[in-house]
Every structure is written in C-alpha cells, then in structure tokens.
Structure 1
Amino acid sequence: MRQLYYTIQTLLRGRGSNVVKTVSLTLGLFVGILLFSQIAYEFSYENFYQDPERLVMLRMRNTKDGIPEKGYNYGTYRPAAADLWEAMPEQVECASLTSNFFQATFYKDGKKLEDTPMLCVDTLYFRTTGLEVLKGNPNDLALMQNAFISQSMARRIFGDEDPIGKELSVEKMFNVTIRGIYREVPRNTNFPHEILLSDAVLDWGYGAGTWGTNNIYHILFRLKQPSDVDIMNRRVQKAVEQYTDPHLGESVVTEYSVIPIREIHRSQPDAQRKLLIMGVLGFSIFFVSVMNYVLAAIASMSWRAKMVGVHKCSGAGEGHILGLFLWETGILVLVSTVACLLLMYFFGERIEGMLGARLADLFTWSNLYVPLLTVLLLFVVAGALPGRMYARIPVTQVFRRYTEGKRSWKRGLLFVQFMGVAFILGVLLTTVWQYREVVSRHVGFQTERLAVGSVNGAIEENEGISDAIRRQPYVEAVACSSKMLLQHYSTNRLTDAQGNFLCPLHFMLIDKDFPKVTGLKLLEGAFPQHVGEAVVGKETVRTMKWQNNVIGRKLPIKPSWAGLQESPTIVGVVDDVRNMGFFNEQTCTAFIMNDRDRTFNVRLKEPEEENLRKLNAFVKEAYPNKMLEFSTYQEIREWQNESVSRFRNIVTVTSGCILLIVLMGLIGYVSDETQRRSKEITIRKVNGAEASSILRLLSAGILKVAVGAVLIGIAFSWYVSGIWMEQFPDGTLLSPGWFIGVGVALLVLIVLVVVVKAWRIANENPVNSIKSE
C-alpha cells in the first residue's frame, strides 16, 4: 500500500506529463488492439464448422505448358460432389454442393428484407458441414419451393412467432416456404448466409449443371481423417478424368485439388498482403506508443532522480524502485484501457464500418486473448524499461547531472518514432492515391449520370418498361442489355484456330442504342445495327491476334440459349471495358446485338442524385410487382472497391494517431532540451547570438536524428506499398519522388514544431534566465 501511495503522489506531481503518456498509450492501445484483433479474426475464418480440419473444398486452375495460372477457381461443376465421392469412398465421408452465385432479394408481405445473404444447397449440406439444425428436416431442401433460415434471421423477421410454414417472396418471382431453422454462422466466413434455398433454384435459373458447364458450384467434402487431404490431392486428378476430359487443347490442362476450408481465406494473396500490412501498421503504432511513453519517462529523470535517491537512502532496493514504476505504469495503462473502451463505445459504428466487421465478432471469447495480451505486453515493456533505468541509478550519482548520459536514449527513441511516422505516411499516400485511381479511372464507358437496374422474370414480361422510363422528363436516354457493365458477364471458351483454349470470353447481349447511351468508345468499324452483329474489346483482338483484319470475322462462340443459331459477326472494335474491376486482369469482352435484355441502362439529366430518386420512385409505383431498383455506376464502383476504401481509412486513422503521438513526444523532447541547455542558450545570447541562430541550433540537433529516420521510414513504406499494389494487375506504384515529397513535408513539420516550441526561450531576455539560476 505504501508503494501505491508514493505512486499516486508522483502521478499528482507530474500531471502534465501523465496526460501526454495517457493520450499516447490510449491511441496506441486503441489502434493496436483493433488491428491485432482484426488479424486474429481473419485467421479464424471458417473455424466454426464441426471438425473444420476434415472439411475441404474442391478447386481448379488451368496450366498452360505446365505453368499454372495465378490463383484458383473455387467454382467448379455440379456432378463433382457425387462423382468424386463415389470415386474415393475410402477418403470421403460425405459430399455436398453449394453456390452463392445467385443472390436474391427477399420480401415479406411486400416489404424488402435487408441483410439476407443466401446460399443454394443440396440436402446433404448440414450433414457435410456439421452445422446444427434446430428445427426441420434437411431433406425438404430437395424442393425448390422450400427454404431454411438462420435462428438470428427468424428472431429478426418473425420475433417470437414460429416461422415454420411462413412464406417469403424471392425477387417477386416465386415464393418459398420456410421449412427449417439452423444455428446461424459467424460473419468470418467467405460463404455467409442467413437463408438457404434448394439447389433446384439454380437448375431453374441457369439450367442443370454438367461437367464442363456452369462452374458456379462450391463442392464440399467431409473427409474421414484430416490426413486424407494429401491422399485425396494425389488421387483427385485421375478421379476427375473418369468423368470428363480436363484437357482444353494441346497445351492447356485443368488441374483439380482440394483445400481445407479454413485455409481458403488465409491462402488468398490479397488477404495475405492485407494481413501483413495490417500487422506492420499495428506493430508500428504500438511500438511508437511504447517508445513515446519511455521517452516521456526518461525526460522526467532530471527531477525524479532525486526522489529515487531519497528512496534508496531510506533502504529501498532495485526491486522496490522497479515496483514503483510498475505501479505507475499499471495505473496509466488501466486508465488508457478504460479510455479505449469508451472510444469503442462512442465510435462503434464508425469503427465497424472501417474494419468491415462487428466489434462483437472481433472480441469473442475465443479472440479475447488478443486485446489482453496487447495490454499485458504494453504494461510490461512500458513499465519495465524505464523502471530498470531508474532502479539502476547509483545513490552516489543521484544528485549529479545523471541525465546527461541519457541523451542517446532520447535520440534513439525519437529516431524510432520519426521512422514509424514516415513509414505510415508513405503507406497512406499509396492507399489514398490507389483508391482515387480505382473509383475515378476510366473503365471503358461514360459512367457520369448513368444508372443501371435489372429485373428478373420472363423477357416478355419486361416489354414496355424501357419505353415508360424513356418518357420521364428527367431521363435523357435508355438502353437495354443482358448484364450490367461492371460485373461478370456470360462466358464462353475462347479458342484459337487449332481449338486450343486461350481464355474465357466475357460477353453480353445489347440493343441497338446501348453503345451510344453508355458511351462505349468505338476504335474501328461500326456499332451493331442488326441481330447477330458484335463489337469486341481491344484485349479480345490482341488475344486472338486479329490486329489487321478483325472486321467481318466470326466470333468463335454460339450460345444457343441467347437465340443465336450461328456465330456473331464482328463489325467493330471498342475500348476495353473493365467489367471485373482493377483487382483482376483485363478480360476479353464482346457485345452482341440481341433482344433478350433484362437490364436497363438509363442516362439521367442533371441533377443526378435528385433524378435518381425520382426514377426509383417511379418504377416502384409503376411496377410494384417487379424487383427493379436503380443505382449509378459511380455508386457501384464505390461498393466494389469498398475493401480499398476500408484499408485507406484504417491507414488514415493509424497515420493520424501515430503522427499525434510523435508530435507529443517531439514537443516533450524540445521542452526538455531547452531546459537542459538553458545556460548554454543564455551564454550564447549574452555573447550576441540572435534568436534565429538559437532556433537553427535546436533544429539542426533534431534534424540530425530526423533525416536518417525519415529516409529509412520512407524507403520501407515504398517497399510495403509495392506489396500492396501487387493486388492490382496493372496498377503502378507512385514514383519515388512522391515518397521523397512526403519525407520532406514531414521534416518541415518537425522543424516547424521545434521552432514554435522553442520560440519563447529563443526570444527571452537572457537576464531573466540568469536571475532564475
């Protein structure tokens, strides 16, 4: 208790210093805990399944001349579940097929239900995954008209009412009856769902999948033993060859393998890069926060050394002195932890929006060890390091200028802090620039004032919708297509003259007005005027090596489902449309004139936002039985690049916090230096030195530390930024000049802080300084 009493007295004496320490620790803990918890959260993806190490998913990728393509395709073919189970009964205990390809909007009594992700599954889904069925018979999922919903959705939609037997509308096209309830899945999954429909829905919408067609299914296997993963991977290729030919020409082969489901997320290169950079960010701010605390503790050594001496003269040993500092650090860490909890409480929604995860999911019992270890590590390092320094001060030197020997410590700590803030600001520059690029870069058509909406159902039922929209006074033009421009189009194998597979061709059906309304840029030839004519993108021309004579060629596809009895004739070449965004390489595209359209592209008049609201109000009133809602392409681009936006926001918050911590540490250091060198400054001024020379003297001392630290931090940020940019196939890293500019700006800010803080003592009358001695 006596140690606690002395600690409280010390804290009361150093109130100003303690505020700086508390703010520094709070910011470091706040951001560090969030980032480390997010990392642990993403590492726990798919761990909620029963015996997840025995649950695997089939995947495939193409190899050309023995060289595999980048990444795997986890969408495979419907018959693979039953066929491979039959081929490998020694390893496979159960198999199931699922798909999230079809994402419907659900309605209850005409009211749209929000946040209802779904999966289409077969009757063996629960047996394969081990998810708990609370009510109902999974065999009911054999029928298209039946559905299962999660326990949380049942409470949210129906309250205390029993949902069994109740109906929901799917896209206002057909109804499903709720036949069962299952325990909801956590959000840390690549396959979220609140409602399960029968896989018969996919048959109805896309046709029964076969080997080689409709690779929209996720095939799950429950193995008998975890070690069967390796055995299955050795056998699966030959097993597939029993049912289909994996060769796509002379040199291209589709390879099949399985992967434990909980390894899917962490095996993605984009996820690995994100986790790596988040770990570096979290460590940076945590380390800088601790170092700033140590710096503040060392800065107070000039007056606290006497207190330590008194304690040692009274018989206190090194352990007693160390205990005092641990008590002090413990109290400040406790206050900082409470402050962190308050910040999370008051800014919870913004934090969840930034991280893309609920705080309740981050801080589950299984992940609670992360914030606890973070707090414990902070307490041990921040308390033990300065505590050992004070504990080892000899009694004989307690009243001497012992702090002189600690200048190297303070400069070293400043060096680390400057390096950390330079690194963070360099990464911030990259993320801000890249987000600007992905949402504003040209995507092959004119997105300004262009809205899009799709409707399902029979094509004949949609007749007249485009004419009704076109007659509205706020609409400039309307055109129809089979898909929206920024999504995965229908695909067909693109082959060369010898039949060798080259790549998938992404194509859509359009009407005559589509190119003009959407602003496709014609590079050669003309736009389609008759059914069966097509324009292709530059990448298609390059891949097929048609540079000199593309007009008049036949596009080597013949999708009978689109009513095309012969291959489309190419009449023009357009600029490439970035339909898959900037996370993927440019696709081969084609736009074929046809009348099987269900997507409406509307060019609005100004003002865009107001007219978009009018358009949605009109279609809701005019077509209450249609699930038709319009969004602008700019909104769609922002939604598709939400992960980049979130990461940018994370880096921005981290940058702001670490910059504030470093500036507080710098201000404390300058105050300590001016106090320590007050006699020297006075003598210089008595000898005729001007205020500017004093400021240059202090600034030069800081710059000796800052320049090297900033150079290292900027260089490291340039390297890490290169890792971040690898997820954008044709993205380019900013030139080193931009990073150098950030470093120079940071050095200017550092000098400015020194000048402002030292301005008073540099301009003070030396007589006053002499009197105070």
Structure 2
Amino acid sequence: ESPVGRMLTGWDDIPLQVSGVYRDWGEESTINTDFIVSLSTLLENHWGGLGWKGGDSWFDYILVKEGTDLEVLNRKIMEVIEANVPPTDDFSLKASAIPLRDVYRGQESVRMSTWTLSFLATLILIVTALNYVLLSLSALSRRAKAIGVHKCSGAGRGTIFAMFAIETLIIIAVGLVFAAFCFYVARRFAQESIYDNFAAYISADRLWVVAGVVVLTFGIAALIPSVVFSKIPVSQVFRRFVEKKHRWKHSLLFVEFAGMSLMGGLLAMVIAQYHYIMDLDPGYEPDNVVCITRSNDGKEHREALMKVYASLPYVDQVAIGSMPPGYGYSGEFVRDDHGSPLFSSRYDNWNNKDFAELMGFRLLHGRYPEAIDGSEAVINQEFSRLMGWKDDDAVGRQFRISDQNVTVCGIIKDFITGTLYQEQQPYMAMTEDNGWSQRFFLKLKEPFGQSYASLMADEKELMEGASNFSCVSLGTQYRQTYHSVEVFRTMIMTGAIILLFISMIGLFGYMRDEMHRRSREIAIRKVNGASTAEVIEMICRSVMTVAIPAVIFGSVAAWLIGRYWLEQFSVQAPSITAMYLLSGIITLILIALASTGMTLRTANENPSKSLRSE
C-alpha cells in the first residue's frame, strides 16, 4: 500500500500529509532523519509564525554544478552576507559551503581521534616488525653455522634470502589467521568503536588496508634479516661465530622501549582525564533523575500528569522543564539598548523553581524567577561576566532579548550546559507558561535501578498507551556523552598491553643472545670472584643504558601527543604531568625486573659449564 497521501499525526500535533518516499541515507551518512518537513510548515505551526530569532544557525544543502570552485562560491556567499548584514564591532555573520563528505571527518574531535589512532596503530605495526627483526638478529650467532652448511651444499645468496623471506611470510600468514580470530571475538567492541556495520568494515573495498599492513610488515620484518643472513660467509661453518656489532640490536631495543613508554604514558594520561571527567562536579545533580518526553497536550493535562507522577511511591520529586542540562540549549541573542546583539546565550524555560531545586542548581544571589510573563530571569556566572557585571551586583539589572526587557532576579553557579568539549556557556532561564516546558523530570528513590524498572513497567498506564513516550536517565546520559573517551581509553589500554607483550618478547630474545654471547665472560668473572649481584648489575647496566633515554624520549612523545588530544576538552586533569612521570618510572621498573629475571639463571650457573668446551 502506497503511503503517499496518508496523514501523519503525533509530531507536536502538526497534521502532516505524506507527499513522497525517499531512499534511506545509508549507514555512513551523518544525515539520519526519518522524515522531512518544509521550513515554512515548521515556522508556521511550531513557532506560531514568529520565525526563528535565536542565536543558532541553519544548515542548508546546495547542489552545485560540476566544476564549481568552492573557494569562489564561499567568497560570493560572504559578499552577499556583508552587503545585506554589514559586520560591526559587536556582531557579524559567517557562512561557508563544504563538501558533504567532509561534514563528519572535518570535525575537530574526529580528526583528532583519527590522527591519534592512526599514529598509534602505525607505531604498534612498526615496533612489531622491528621486534621480529631484533629476534632474528639476536639468533644470528646460533644460526650462522646452519647458514654456512646451506652454502656449502650449494645455496647462493638468493636461496638464503628466499628461505628467510618465506619463513617470515608463513609467520605473517599465521598472524593473519590469529588476527581474524581476534576480530571475530572483539566484533562487538569494534562495532561500538570503529564501525557500526562490521561486515562493511571488512568488505572487499577495504581489503587494501589489510594488504597494506601485510606489505609494510613484510617489507620491514623480512628484508632486513634476509639480507643480513644471506651475507654470512661460508667460513662460519668452521668456527664459532660471535656477533659483536650491537648497534643494530640497541637501536631496535631503543625503539621498543620508547614505544612501550609512549603507550604507557598515553594510557596514564587518558585514564587520568577520563576519571577526572567522570568525577567532576557538573554543577547539577543528574544521579537518580530521569527525563520523560512526550507531545504537549495542554496545561491541564500536564498538571494532571504531575499529580500522578508525584503520587508514585518510588518518585521523590517532580518538575517540568524544557530541556535537561547537558543536552545543550537553544540560543537567544542578548542585545544592548539599541537592539544590537552582544552575545548568544543558552536559553531555558522552567515551569517553576521546583525544576531548579530538583536538578540541584546552586543559587548564589537573589531568587529564582516567579513571574510567568518572561520578565524575570535567573542567569549563570558566565552570563554576568559577559555583561561586565559582578556576581553580587547583577541582581536587579536588566538586559534585552528580542523586543523585551528582562530583569535579573538571581544568579546560579556555572554548570555544564552542553559538554566538556565546549567552553563554559552563558545561560539564562525564565518561568513561562507558553507550552515550551513539556518535559517531566522525576527524581527517583533508591535503589534507582528498581525504581526505574517500576517506572518502565507503569509506562503504558501512565502514558495512556501513547507511543511517543521516551524516558532517559540523566546520569546515564552524562556518562554516555563521554563514551568515546572510554572507548579511546580501551583502545590505548589494548595497544599498551600488546606493545608491552611484544617488547618483553624482544627483550627476552636480546637477553638470551647476550647470555649466549657473554657466557664465557661471565664465567671468567665468577672464577675471579665476581658475585651473582655484580654479574646481574653488569648485564642490566647495558640494558638500562638503552632503556633510560628511550623511556625519556617515549614519555616526551606521549606528552606531545597527549597535549594535542587534550585540546578537545575545556578542562584537564591537574595530575596529568605526574602521570607521565609515574608511567615512565613504572616502565623502567618493568624493564629492570625483566632483565634481572632473565639474567639470574646464567649468573647463578656453575662457571665450569661455560668453560668446559674451551
């Protein structure tokens, strides 16, 4: 049955007739609307034909002709704006056109996360490949005779090169199988953090990513050891080979330690910032508060529902408001006496002061507004600052919005009107009975989970079967606002664990080679009276000589990257610098403990075992 011509009801009681059906936008689009209403219909019915006079902007979509120069187009747009709305010292308008594909990836937070994760992924990839090179070169002294035997049997450099290249390729293939298993196990997390549709993420048109990773890994991990092993002379089969060039291995060890320190520093920074955000006082009390949204059925019906909600045994307080804190508010220009806009303030409507008390706003001076004609307003500290007033001197002053003078009756403490990704915004609130305040705010009793479940169970009866009922926990909503930070923390933690594991494997290979190469030296030192502690100190000193500058380098790099990532927040944890320092110290302790543990066995060994073959 065709929906064209059918009537839709329920959206703010505006009668809508279906004029057509359009194709879904798709999962990769930032436009996810379910229906489209003309702007004239919206203005006429939703705002009573008054139009929009707030301090917000509209998004317009332009289909440009092929070959259009956006720079020229934007210049002409600004020429039209400046000709009709000339800029002043206090006010100016700006508009620009950008490709639709850049709307999402052009966002500062998206670009920041993309750059940071790309850098970390590349770091893990390179460290992993270099770790394989380190292990291969560390095995050089043990495999030299085998290479010599192959060459005595007729193998040339090309054969030896191909032998190690194929060996590396087999290991990479096994790694891909294991990676596929990890992707399958972590597919739910991947859907939440990387891509909504996991099947699309690994589709054929994105296989070039996997191919690029394989080629880069093979290029680093296979070519370097293959070239080194293919150059071993045949004479190595007749004598004991002792590799004395340590620069290669020390350089690779430096990269691993620096990478481990970098990831550890970033992890400490992200954890500190995340917990600081979660523990930060938002300026209101979202815990145990739920917001119920429904269409506006008039004052009498709202008051009747208020009484019903207040009578429920699991409800502590009830109030009506237009918007919950943390969702962002509509804008309204604050103007001077001549009507010129000063700044755009966030704008809110309360039904009465019960809303402020339920949300836990902190009243600093004066009182909450009582007049219902919009002539009184309570403002926050930022609003007072932008007006050039002192907090204790703002009560009784006036400002102008649209065509109305408003008197300040009280000042509340600044609270998070939007998110911590934004600077503190000015805020004003009035008590107006104009139908805008249509959301019910309920403070539920403890235990919250049980009270919330009871409310959901009573939904059908309370809402009289209405289908446009929505109930949101403000505490949950506040935490979900920073879900991307939690996901980023999990990614960094995963990367840090992987890099720590890889670095320990590389350190183990290096130490095993050192013990093999220096076994005679250690035995001779012990015969001449060296203690186990002295032997351990000697070996660990060479490791720490590489580790200390590497950890310092990695910690500084983590500070630089972390500073870039932290720019998206308006507040930062005060303990972040100490977290970088603590992370570096812990990294050095781990390296020292691992080196000591790997040296202990050789240091305690009977010297005769190492000298019997001499």
Hey, what does 1:577 align to over in structure 2?
A: 415
Q: 1:703 to 1:459 in 2, by over 3 A?
A: farther
User: Could you tell me which residue of structure 2 aligns to residue 509 of structure 1?
Assistant: 349
One-letter amino acid of the counterpart of residue 269, structure 1:
E
Identify, as 1 or 2, the structure richer in strand.
1
* Letter of the structure 1 residue corresponding to residue 582 of structure 2: G
**Residue identity in the other structure for 2:446:** E
Residue equivalent to 1:436: 275
Structure 2 match to 1:614: 454
Letter in 1 for 2:579: W
User: Counterpart of 1:254 in 2: which secondary structure?
Assistant: coil
The one of the two structures with greater contact order (alpha-carbon pairs below 8 A, sep at least 6) is 2
Change (3 A) 1:405 1:675: closer
Measure how far apart 1:297 and its partner are. 0.9
Describe the SS at the equivalent of 1:509. Answer: strand
Instruction: State whether residues 620 and 628 of structure 1, in contact with CA within 8 Å, keep that contact through their aligned partners in structure 2.
Output: no
Q: Does 1:188 align with 2:21?
A: no
Deviation by residue 1:473-522 (Cα, 9 ceiling, x = unmatched) = 22221221111111222321023445443321112111121222111111
| 1:253 aligns with one of 73, 87, 92 | 92
Is the contact made by 1:252 and 1:501 (CA closer than 8 Å) also made in structure 2? yes
1:418 Cα offset (Å): 0.6
Task: Give the one of 429, 445, 458 matched to 1:605.
Answer: 445
**Residues 733, 327 of structure 1: alpha-carbon distance in 2 compared, 3 angstrom cutoff:** farther
Letter of the 1:197 partner, please give it.
Answer: I
Tell me how far apart the structure 2 counterparts of residues 399 and 480 of structure 1 sit (CA, whole Å): 91
Q: Secondary structure of 1:488's partner?
A: coil
From 687, 703, 723, the counterpart of 2:544: 703
Report the 3-state secondary structure (helix = DSSP H, G, I; strand = E; otherwise coil) of the residue aligned with 2:393: coil
Larger CA deviation: 284-293 vs 624-633: 624-633
SS for the counterpart of 1:556 is strand
Q: Which letter does structure 2 place at the counterpart of 1:704?
A: T
Residue 372 of structure 1 corresponds to which residue in structure 2? Answer: 211
Structure 2 matches for 1:620-635, cutoff 5 A? 620-623=460-463, 624-625=465-466, 627-635=468-476
In the alignment, structure 1 segments of 5+ residues that lack a partner are 1-134, 147-168, 560-565
Counterparts of 2:579 and 2:609 in 1: how far apart (Å)?
Answer: 46
Quick one: which amino acid aligns to residue 577 of structure 1?
F
Q: 2:335 aligns with which of 471, 482, 495?
A: 495
Displacement of 1:333 in angstroms is 0.8
Query: How far did 1:406 drift?
Result: 3.9
- Where 1:573 maps in the other structure, the secondary structure is strand
Cα distance, 1:305–1:171 mapped onto 2, change above 3 Å:
farther
> Alignment partner for residue 377 of structure 2, among 508, 525, 534?
534
User: 2: CA distance between counterparts of 1:196 and 1:136?
Assistant: 16
Question: Contact 1:480–1:598 (CA<8 Å) still a contact in 2?
Answer: yes
CA distance in structure 2 between the partners assigned to 1:584 and 1:483 by the alignment: 18
Give me the whole-angstrom Cα distance separating, in 2, the residues matched to 1:182 and 1:636.
32
Question: 1:257 is matched by which residue type in structure 2?
Answer: S
Query: Separation in 2 of the partners of 1:512 and 1:351?
Result: 45
Letter in 1 for 2:426: C
- Unaligned regions of 5+ residues in structure 2, if any? none
**1:413, CA displacement in angstroms?**
0.7
Secondary structure (helix, strand or coil) at the match of 1:569 reads: strand
Shift of residue 241 of structure 1?
A: 5.5
In the alignment, what sits opposite 1:346? 185
Q: How many Å separate the matches in 2 of 1:187 and 1:373?
A: 25
Q: Are the equivalent residues in 2 in contact too, given 1:422–1:743 (CA < 8 A)?
A: yes
Counterpart position of 1:747: 588
Shift of 1:216: 5.7
Give me the whole-angstrom Cα distance separating, in 2, the residues matched to 1:359 and 1:772: 59
Distance 2:50 2:524 in 1: 89
Task: Provide the C-alpha distance between the structure 1 equivalents of 2:385 and 2:316, rounded to a whole number of angstroms.
Answer: 35
| 1:713 Cα offset (Å) | 0.5
- SS at structure 1 position matched to 2:36: strand
1:206, 1:307 → 2: CA distance? 85
- Relative to structure 1, the CA distance from residue 502 to residue 430 in structure 2 (aligned partners, 3 Å threshold; closer, same or farther) is farther
Q: Secondary structure at 2:282's aligned position in 1?
A: coil
Tell me, in whole angstroms, the C-alpha distance in 2 between the residues paired with 1:700 and 1:729: 44
Query: Contact 2:326–2:418 at 8 Å: present in 1 too?
Result: yes
The residue aligned with 2:483 is 642
The equivalent residue for 2:194 is 355
CA distance in 2, matches of 1:209, 1:420: 60
Please give the secondary structure, in 1, of the residue aligned with 2:419.
coil
Aligned to 1:421: 260
Deviates more, 1:215-224 or 1:714-723: 215-224
Deviation at 1:291, TM superposition (A): 0.7
- Residue 287 of structure 1 deviates from its aligned partner by 0.5
* Residue 614 of structure 1, CA deviation: 1.5
Alignment partners' CA distance in 1, 2:533 and 2:12: 76
Whole-Å separation in 2 of the counterparts to 1:226 and 1:401: 71
Supply the distance in 2 between the matched residues of 1:625 and 1:546 (Cα, whole angstroms).
Answer: 47
Aligned equivalents of 1:144 and 1:219: distance in 2?
28
What are the superposed Cα offsets for residues 125-151 of structure 1, whole Å, 9 maximum, x if unpaired?
Answer: xxxxxxxxxx989xx6xx8947xxxxx
Closer, same or farther: CA 377–250 of 1 in aligned 2, 3 Å: closer
Query: After superposition, where does 1:224-303 map in structure 2 within 5 Å?
Result: 224-240=65-81, 244-245=84-85, 247=87, 249-303=88-142
Report the alpha carbon displacement of residue 590 of structure 1 after superposing the two structures with TM: 1.2
Q: State the 1:557 CA deviation.
A: 2.0
- Matched letter for residue 400 of structure 2: P
Is 1:557 the counterpart of 2:396? The answer is no
Measure, in 2, the Cα distance between the counterparts of 1:722 and 1:651.
15
**Number of corresponding residues:** 604
Contact 2:315-2:442 at 8 Å conserved across structures: yes
Q: Distance in 2 between matches of 1:188 and 1:402?
A: 58
Q: Displacement of 1:752 after TM fit?
A: 1.0
Distance 1:180 1:320, change over 3 A: farther
Residue in structure 2 matched with residue 659 of structure 1 by the alignment: 500
Question: Hey, what's the Cα distance between the residues in 2 that align with 1:693 and 1:219?
Answer: 74
SS at match of 1:191: coil
Q: Distance in 2 between matches of 1:299 and 1:373?
A: 27
Of 557, 560, 566 in structure 2, the residue corresponding to residue 719 of structure 1 is 560
Task: Indicate how the Cα distance of structure 1 residues 286 and 209 shifts in structure 2: closer, same or farther if over 3 A, else same.
Answer: farther
Partners of 1:281 and 1:227 lie apart in 2 by 37
Change (3 A) 1:288 1:186: farther
Q: Distance in 2 between matches of 1:535 and 1:331?
A: 70
Identify if the C-alpha distance between structure 1 residues 399 and 451 changes in structure 2 by more than 3 Å, giving closer, same or farther.
farther
Aligned pair in 2 of structure 1 residues 220, 558: CA closer, same or farther (>3 Å)? closer
Asked if the contact 1:312–1:395 (Cα under 8 Å) also holds between the matched residues in 2, the reply is yes
Matches within 5 A, 1:449-528: 449-460=288-299, 461-497=301-337, 499-510=339-350, 511-528=352-369
Q: Residues 550 and 570 of structure 1 are in contact (CA less than 8 Å); yes or no, is this contact kept in structure 2?
A: yes
Using a 3 Å threshold, how does the CA distance of structure 1 residues 215 and 517 change in structure 2: closer, same or farther?
A: closer
Farther off after superposition, 477-486 or 258-267 = 258-267
CA gap 1:170/1:714 in 2 versus in 1, 3 angstroms = farther
Matched, 1:396 2:243: no
SS of the residue 2:400 aligns to: coil
- Identical positions, percent: 28
Cα deviation for residue 766 of structure 1 reads 3.3
After TM superposition, list the pairs within 5 Å mapping 1:309-348 onto structure 2.
309-348=148-187
Match for 1:550: what amino acid? Answer: A
> Following the alignment from structure 1 to structure 2, what is the Cα–Cα distance between the partners of residues 296 and 733?
41
Change (3 A) 1:234 1:696: same
Deviation per residue, 1:660-700 (Å, 9 max, x gap): 11111112222222222222222222333322222222221
- Per the alignment, do residues 136 and 654 of structure 1 end up closer, same or farther by CA in structure 2, a change over 3 Å counting? farther
TM-superposed deviation, 1:289: 0.4
Spell out, residue by residue over 1:725-746, the C-alpha distance to the aligned partner (whole angstroms, 9 max, x if none). 1111343675533211110110
CA distance in 1, matches of 2:364, 2:25: 49
CA–CA separation in structure 2 for the residues paired with 1:385 and 1:590: 66
CA distance in 1 between counterparts of 2:245 and 2:461 reads 76
